[in-house]
Amino acid sequence: MKMIWAMIRPESVQPVITELDNAGICGMTRIKGTGFSRDLGVTPGNIQNPEIPKEILMIVVPDAEVAKAVMLIRTAAKSGPKNIAEGGMIDYGNIFVTYVEESFPIRTAGKTGGILKI
């Protein structure tokens, strides 16, 4: 099993969730956050804010579904407005994939011994 961490623009979250759900990939955690990148933040008026709003999706999938999930996330997250010579906007986000060695269910801990080997 692998965990996919998708750090994406807030306006891209719902299209990404919809695409993953349509593909049968569901069950994720959504976290609001901020980040820093090459475009140096948001400039409302004369104020420079180096923090860029982001949302983080944490999704655990079987190894065989990682490539499909990453492709769906990249496509859906990049479907918004384009600029910069139609190559897309700076800082659509990033996707990281990490290993999941164990999972500890909370609700069924008493029934399964507390450890779910993956």
The residue among 41 and 65 whose pLDDT is bigger is 65
pLDDT band at residue 81 using 50, 70 and 90 as cut-offs: low
Which pLDDT tens digit goes with each residue over 38-48?
Answer: 655 555 566 66
Alpha-carbon 28 to chain mean position: 9
CB-CB contact of 97 with 3 (8 Å): yes
How many structural domains comprise the chain?
A: 1
Domain of 30, in residue numbers: 2-117
CATH number for the domain spanning 10: value is 3.30.70.120
pLDDT band at residue 59 using 50, 70 and 90 as cut-offs: very high
Mean pLDDT score of the chain, rounded to an integer? 80
- What percentage of the chain exceeds 70 in pLDDT? 69
